[in-house]
Structure 1
Amino acid sequence: MDSAAPPSQASGSNAARAVIMAVLIVVFAGYLFLWIMMPTNPYRLTWLPDLRKETATTYFGTNQGATYLVLTFPMLFIAALGCVYLHLGKKSREIHTERSKGEHKLATWKRPLIVKGLGIVSRIELAFFLMFIALLVWNLANYLSISFAKITPMSAAKSGEKVWEAKLESAGLRLGLVGNIALSFLFFPVTRGSSVLPLFGLTSEASVKYHIWLGHIVMTFFTTHGICYIIYWAATHELSEMLKWEKTGVSNVAGELSLLAGLGLWATTFPGIRRKVFELFFYTHHLYILFMLFFVLHVGISYSCIMLPGFFLFMIDRYLRFLQSRRGVRLVSARILPCQTVELNFSKSKGLSYSPTSIMFMNVRNISKLQWHPFTISSSSKLESDKLGVIIKVEGKWSDQLYQMLSSPSSIDRLDVSIEGPYGPASTDFLRHDLLVMVSGGSGITPFISIIRELVYTSEILKCRTPEILLISAFKNSADLTMLDLILPISGSPSKFSNLSLQVEAYVTRENEPTTQENKGIRTLWFKPNPCDAPITPILGQNGWLWLGAIISSSFVIYLIFIGILTRYYIFPIDHNSNKIYSSSSRAVLHILFICIGIVIASTAAFLWNKKRNSKENTQIQNMEGATPVASPNSLYYNADRELESLPQQSISQCINVHYGERPDIKRLLFDRKESSVGVLVCGPKKMRHEVAKICSSGLADNLHFESISFSW
């Protein structure tokens, strides 16, 4: 149970957070200002040369130090200091029941828009997207303007080219430079444990759409960049340039290999392919490793450091996920529904907390050792302090195999499961509304179950005011109604709901009346404990944000120390005391190697330290579970064991109205609500999401506030 911090401590933390945020805003504004100035003559001809003179050392060379200082260090500084900001926020978190003063002013900007090609976006998101496009256009226009001004018939004739050929070659180069701007931001949205995204109020799941937008932009610029050079070489009869791998400078072969890997990855990202052949998309997406490797070999490490911060943070996150996924987790039970849906309940440490609507990635080695699938967490870390649950509905081969494995008469007594996560918002603010309207279709009810359970805890345990809840759920068949039985957990929920106002309007669209053949009860399957499995624990412990900040800082320092020593005592003597020039590719490979070494050393040390501290709590949890009577999995059916859930389920059933043979009139249901603040959430098919977004963006009802929750991209 999270307790609020004392007033003095909370005010001190808030003051410190305000100072830190001010510093972060100043640094980020300066970072963006550099991107704006980069293509201009003052930056290229004055600022950058002077900066290189001031930072030139025998440890990092002539150009490397300047790039570290102005383009690599600021974002890593923001990420590390942001960890401190988030840690202080976690310590001083309190329950807020009043709406923020600035909310009304931002209400118009938060209203959703449906933009073709972008999906549902808020006005704020659209404004930032247009500003980013303006940044790219500004850079490209300035680069082309300055370079084209130098191309004249006379200058082209001296180099044996035509004017259009010289301009084509120059345009190809500048397209690559602008593409690198988008690449610099590409990996921030998919860094799941990011400390940067929460600073902007974002989660990795909701930011996947930004990654998709940036990915299309990156590949468009880089593909055009490559085509321009191929046409240029063909026009000037220099196609042999495609086979050159220069010892210094740009390597053409590496660039072509990078582009081919990127095209292979890009081809499978379009919705038609990604949704129909997910496995192909999943496996080909790992081509990003070759894409980034050959990109660094193509342009050299000095220029690659421009995009290094985002990829560096992604690599740290990816390695931490690898460490977390090495050990199996303790699967306690499964609730099997007749609608081809299963709820898996895992053991977790009480120190692991997460917000409603969080997700986690799961791998079941019994099905596939390589496939990882994301699932929304249905449990509440406050209501169920020692359990974590996810709901999985059959929607593909992988989920069908899992369901068949658990629902067969000869069900196995153990699943070999690994997880990554949980990941989710740092906090949620649903309490600021008078009414929460949740609109779901099919399995889209899952995130709303986690919200309802959280509000059950807030209203019944903490005795705090909570908004009224209206859950509007559309199902295809009456068998799917059993998903409503998962609103409450197997155990841990109070027997009565005197403070929570919940109303469920369920719609069965393909049946005109209840059917009896599918009215089977929920079957509960209990798994035998295994000593090799462990409860789910926070990978970096209770002070995870501070540990992450330490990892970011120390891993980069380790990298700088190693590369500084290597450059000073090995590369520098070769470049300056002999007729040889050290290979750019070899230099880039060494930088990549030492980046990986720094990340592995810092992350492994932090992981092992926290694993040792968590081991005592894990042992206590396993001893308690071992004392729990566990019968044969095949005999534990619904109501055959642990009937403590019956009373709460009776309370829930009184709140449910079922409508057969019709679809919900969402517009009427929303406009009929007269509360001053109505939070509207939607999760389900694309058509449903767009319908709700249009209603909330119409402006016909000022009390509707669309709460953006992204689970489909």
Structure 2
Amino acid sequence: MDDEIGVHNPLLSSHPSRRAFVRKIPLFVTLAKWILKITMWVLFISWVVFIFLFPLGSVQTFFGDWIAATDGTLFGTTGTLLLLFNGPLLVIALLSIAFLAMSGEEELPNKKKKTSQNPSFRLWTFPILVDGPFGVVSAAELIGILLFVVYTMWSVSYYAVSILSTIPGSLSLKAQSCLFLAIFGAYLASSGMFCLAFLFLPIARGSVLLRLIDIPFEHATRYHVWLGHLTMSLFTLHGLCYIATWAMEGNLLAKILEWREIGVANLAGVISLAAGLLMWVTSLPPVRKLNFELFFYTHQLYVIFIAFLAMHVGDFLFVCAAGGIFIYILDRFLRFCQSRRTVGVISAKCLPCGTVELVLAKPENLQYNALSFIFIQVRELSWLQWHPFSVSSSPLDGKYHISVLIKVLGKWTENLRGKILKNSEAEQQQSALSCTPPTTLTVSVEGPYGHEIPYHLVYEHLVLVAGGIGISPFLAVLSDIVHCVKEGRLCQVRNILIVWAVKTSNELPLLSTIDMDSVSSKLNIQTLIYVTRESGPPLEEGQVLNSALEFPPRCPPRPKRCGMSVLVGSGDNLWSGLYLISSTVGLVIILSLLDVLYINPYRISAWWYKGLLLLLCMVASVVVFGGLAVGLWHLWERKFSAQDQCEDDTSDVYKAEHEETVGRSDSNEHRENLSKLTGIRYGARPNFKEIFGTISKDWGTVDAGVIVCGPPSFEASVAKEIRSHNLRRQRDDPIFHFNSHSFDL
């Protein structure tokens, strides 16, 4: 939605088969996109301005008049507020489907070449804050943070001043204090509800809204964390205000246990706040890093938090945040449907460097980009744990498979490695020539998730900075670029610098799997590798470099099932649009039927009950009406991915992969690939000031994309140097654009 954000514009189709040629876009398509874009911006700005100005007396008057004018209608006050607070968000979501469908037909325009001659700063790729509690923060993210801070300070201060001006001076100090705290606590809850309206949007992994602005889930997660701290701070202060009021009045316990029919249900609010506080405390960095499973499992209390919040405030107030929660329910149900399928495991290998490689079957129409990631569940290890991993294969590597590299670092990954080794030993004992399948890894997948466009292809000059297993997504990037160059597809990249820091040299063979020699005449590729915990090369360096490629040749098994479901993977605008539309229409139908057949005839007036009914209607509309669309989607998927065809097609892929694996172990060209293209420094860490200084002299005035994947401290070091360079750059120096590919729940 923002033309000023270079890598966030849908310049490229997400489907790899559409990247080969440039073609002119019809004028009516361009015009329609501009109309949609302007309409979405107007709706979004109007929605945000209304929320920002809500504390004003004039807005409150308009709010009251709106409610009075619609009282007694079919949907009543609830329907009116649902339309006022959530209508713009849902309309934007619906319009974004059409916008993405039109953008999917575009190709990379020729005029993109001009960016090399006229480099410019971009808000999303300019790091401003690199140290501190927020991590690396871009200029655009800083603007968003400041807007939320300003809104919070403005609303809280305005409410406080307005309350003080209306409290009668004739009351005693105690009575004035109680009245102030009660009213101020209610206003804090109002501000918290508006923050809650945004809280669930960043964690809707496959949300069409995230696809629209091209912010992948791994980046949006941090926004959820920031909003979570702000929301829980407001709700906690809200609760403390009322606790202090009740304590001064001497009826604390009675008020806490109170559950009123008309008005807020205090006990429901206490339960909701307790669940929220438990989630909040266990999500703090010290607790999360010490015991991630505790954080993960307590975070499932969001169901309790939302359900009892709806009963606490009733439908009248719950609608303020219902839109964001509804979009999250849409995403969660779709992910649930996708994750029920068992995915075929083509191969599972334990590499000598302590890394596991999984190759999974996928259908041809599953779309993803090189910088994507997936969530994996292995049922033999845990039915509850889902772990995110970057994709290490390019979508151009093959139509029917996707691969990931998993570094053995924790208990779950160690158990996975042990399971694979145990299966391998069992196979070898049966027969050295047998082609029996492994004793099963039952794998389920969610995703793939990632950028809507392969933004690494829009830069002519690319710097890939990896720490340890952070090289995994860059293997996919390099493979993607190599395929584009070999096949004559449109690709802007001409210069690539790879900076890789590893602890020991046994990880180095991972990089040698990419055949970069074949495109060395068209690409300038340089590699700097830093082995930080070794003072010199091993005595038999050649064996170390090749050890990861020496796999015992065997016949790869054919999986019993086809690849992962396409329900969540970035891609099908038609079916995802029908799913969103049917669920939204279903919500309107269920609410109208509920009012006509139940609430109005039986004169249902309890706030807590109507709040619970509203939440149940949201869930039912997604499960029933959205489930119907998902069922048809699944039937359509089965029609075009029949089981027999899937097995026939994938068997050819397995054979090709087998031949490729055997060929790799016997190819001197691949064995010498790493030593030709890399400069390895032992006992040293990357000096980013020196590296970026050298690039500035060699590349000149260009836009240089920098993609970083590594630990937070490693990422901060790169961002700090980019910020320093961009602030003091000379006229002939490049502008570095910071892009992070690190993921931290």
TM-score (ref. length: structure 1): 0.91
Most deviating of 34-43 and 618-627: 618-627
Amino acid at match of 1:468: N
* Match status 1:284 vs 2:315: no
1:624 corresponding residue in structure 2: 649
Q: Is the 8 A contact 2:341 2:564 kept in 1?
A: no
2:537 corresponding residue in structure 1: 514
1:66 corresponding residue in structure 2: 80
Residues 85, 16 of structure 1: alpha-carbon distance in 2 compared, 3 angstrom cutoff? same
1:56 and 1:382 map into 2 onto residues whose CA distance is 58
Counterpart selection for 2:622 from 572, 581, 599: 599
1:542 and 1:196 map into 2 onto residues whose CA distance is 12
* Match status 1:49 vs 2:64: yes
Residues 545, 24 of structure 1: alpha-carbon distance in 2 compared, 3 angstrom cutoff? same
In the TM superposition, what is the alpha-carbon distance from 1:236 to its structure 2 partner?
0.7
Matches within 5 A, 1:266-285: 266-285=280-299
Counterpart selection for 1:225 from 238, 249, 255: 238
In the TM superposition, what is the alpha-carbon distance from 1:593 to its structure 2 partner?
2.0
Counterpart selection for 2:46 from 18, 30, 49: 30
Q: Is the 8 A contact 1:250 1:300 kept in 2?
A: yes
1:168 corresponding residue in structure 2: 181
Most deviating of 458-467 and 359-368: 458-467
* Match status 1:707 vs 2:741: no
Q: Is the 8 A contact 1:250 1:299 kept in 2?
A: yes
Residues 234, 688 of structure 1: alpha-carbon distance in 2 compared, 3 angstrom cutoff? same
Q: Is the 8 A contact 1:351 1:537 kept in 2?
A: no
Matches within 5 A, 1:50-129: 50-61=65-76, 63-94=77-108, 97-99=112-114, 104-107=119-122, 110-113=125-128, 114-129=130-145
1:590 corresponding residue in structure 2: 613
In the TM superposition, what is the alpha-carbon distance from 1:526 to its structure 2 partner?
6.3
2:401 and 2:169 map into 1 onto residues whose CA distance is 74
Unaligned residue ranges in structure 2 (runs of 5+): 1-16, 428-437
Amino acid at match of 2:471: I
Residues 608, 5 of structure 1: alpha-carbon distance in 2 compared, 3 angstrom cutoff? farther
Counterpart selection for 2:266 from 252, 255, 258: 252
Give the superposed CA RMSD: 2.8
In the TM superposition, what is the alpha-carbon distance from 1:672 to its structure 2 partner?
0.6
Q: Is the 8 A contact 2:575 2:633 kept in 1?
A: no
In the TM superposition, what is the alpha-carbon distance from 1:399 to its structure 2 partner?
0.7
1:578 corresponding residue in structure 2: none
Counterpart selection for 1:314 from 306, 325, 328: 328
Residues 317, 56 of structure 1: alpha-carbon distance in 2 compared, 3 angstrom cutoff? same
* Match status 1:691 vs 2:717: yes
In the TM superposition, what is the alpha-carbon distance from 1:640 to its structure 2 partner?
5.1
Amino acid at match of 2:512: D
Counterpart selection for 2:443 from 402, 405, 417: 417
In the TM superposition, what is the alpha-carbon distance from 1:68 to its structure 2 partner?
1.8
In the TM superposition, what is the alpha-carbon distance from 1:652 to its structure 2 partner?
5.0
1:19 corresponding residue in structure 2: 35
In the TM superposition, what is the alpha-carbon distance from 1:24 to its structure 2 partner?
0.2
2:670 and 2:234 map into 1 onto residues whose CA distance is 57
SS in 2 for 1:162: helix
In the TM superposition, what is the alpha-carbon distance from 1:670 to its structure 2 partner?
1.1
Amino acid at match of 2:562: A
Matches within 5 A, 1:196-207: 196-207=209-220
2:501 corresponding residue in structure 1: 474
SS in 2 for 1:573: coil
Amino acid at match of 1:709: S
Matches within 5 A, 1:318-467: 318-408=332-422, 409-410=425-426, 412-462=438-488, 464=490, 465-467=492-494
Residues 347, 660 of structure 1: alpha-carbon distance in 2 compared, 3 angstrom cutoff? same
Amino acid at match of 2:263: G
Residues 177, 541 of structure 1: alpha-carbon distance in 2 compared, 3 angstrom cutoff? closer
1:638 and 1:602 map into 2 onto residues whose CA distance is 46
1:318 and 1:386 map into 2 onto residues whose CA distance is 26
2:355 and 2:499 map into 1 onto residues whose CA distance is 19
Amino acid at match of 2:595: T
Amino acid at match of 1:625: T
In the TM superposition, what is the alpha-carbon distance from 1:626 to its structure 2 partner?
4.5
Matches within 5 A, 1:521-540: 521-522=548-549, 523=551, 528-531=557-560, 533-539=561-567
In the TM superposition, what is the alpha-carbon distance from 1:659 to its structure 2 partner?
1.7
1:171 and 1:103 map into 2 onto residues whose CA distance is 52
Amino acid at match of 2:326: F
1:213 and 1:102 map into 2 onto residues whose CA distance is 37
1:269-290 residue CA offsets vs partner (Å, 9 max, x unmatched): 1112212211111111101110
2:229 corresponding residue in structure 1: 216
Residues 210, 499 of structure 1: alpha-carbon distance in 2 compared, 3 angstrom cutoff? same
Residues 605, 243 of structure 1: alpha-carbon distance in 2 compared, 3 angstrom cutoff? same
Q: Is the 8 A contact 2:206 2:568 kept in 1?
A: no
TM-score (ref. length: structure 2): 0.88
1:529 and 1:248 map into 2 onto residues whose CA distance is 62
Most deviating of 134-143 and 361-370: 134-143
Amino acid at match of 1:211: H
Residues 662, 462 of structure 1: alpha-carbon distance in 2 compared, 3 angstrom cutoff? same
Q: Is the 8 A contact 1:341 1:393 kept in 2?
A: yes
2:740 and 2:653 map into 1 onto residues whose CA distance is 38
In the TM superposition, what is the alpha-carbon distance from 1:410 to its structure 2 partner?
3.0
1:132 and 1:214 map into 2 onto residues whose CA distance is 9
2:300 and 2:350 map into 1 onto residues whose CA distance is 34
Counterpart selection for 1:670 from 692, 703, 719: 692
1:574 corresponding residue in structure 2: 602
1:451 and 1:555 map into 2 onto residues whose CA distance is 37
Most deviating of 124-133 and 399-408: 399-408
Q: Is the 8 A contact 1:459 1:466 kept in 2?
A: no
1:563 corresponding residue in structure 2: 591
In the TM superposition, what is the alpha-carbon distance from 1:537 to its structure 2 partner?
4.2
Residues 132, 660 of structure 1: alpha-carbon distance in 2 compared, 3 angstrom cutoff? same
1:498-549 residue CA offsets vs partner (Å, 9 max, x unmatched): 4233222111111122225883333367653343x22134217996223222
In the TM superposition, what is the alpha-carbon distance from 1:198 to its structure 2 partner?
3.0
Q: Is the 8 A contact 1:460 1:494 kept in 2?
A: no
In the TM superposition, what is the alpha-carbon distance from 1:5 to its structure 2 partner?
7.6
Q: Is the 8 A contact 2:512 2:673 kept in 1?
A: no
Residues 307, 583 of structure 1: alpha-carbon distance in 2 compared, 3 angstrom cutoff? same
SS in 2 for 1:480: helix
Most deviating of 636-645 and 418-427: 636-645
In the TM superposition, what is the alpha-carbon distance from 1:385 to its structure 2 partner?
2.5
2:708 corresponding residue in structure 1: 682
**Higher helix proportion (structure 1 or 2):** 2
Residues 252, 329 of structure 1: alpha-carbon distance in 2 compared, 3 angstrom cutoff? same
Residues 121, 496 of structure 1: alpha-carbon distance in 2 compared, 3 angstrom cutoff? closer
